[in-house]
Structure 1
């Protein structure tokens, strides 16, 4: 999984370069364990656990509402955004952005990133027999 961690880290660092006002991002497993992070000023392991919780709760809400599989959740705070994206079967991408961020641009880039990360992690986990 070390190679996947390196590839994921490279991908999330590119996001910060491509989208203004992204202050950090991280990828965790669906069970809350951190895979990689590019964050400053937040505790990445704690944020990974919270991201998994957001994923689980959001999946349940989407299904209960009859809206299909979870894709993303957005939290807007006084100073910015926390956006959580499903990333394949086994991972979740969380992006932190300031209030000045262009959400359209953020979604465009982060959705594509979540797809790439999901493919990387799913392939690695499939080859390793999954996390279970």
Structure 2
């Protein structure tokens, strides 16, 4: 299924992964195992149609479909253990060029992650009050 989505997308997995240096990075005081769970919970709120966890490479790749309020989006989240906890690098791109709203921006992802670190991180509806 992921391969059929990649064919229809204008941004390939290779291009997405090559964009890591341009991603939004933030370090959080949380263990990597918990970070993976929080990342997956956030991805699940996007109704992603394809999710690929590459734990050996430290990256999660996901693709959403287009909806009335946003265009199909591909994003990659790198989860890297560091002394202070876990560093996340997020890249979010629409599948077509242009100024279309994304299912989840880098800023929105980091906001949601930070809220889940201090709150109920696995709640499928997101942090309280959202």
TM-score by length of 2: 0.31
TM-score by length of 1: 0.30
Q: State the structure with bigger RCO (CA 8 A, min sep 6), 1 or 2.
A: 2
Higher helix share: 1
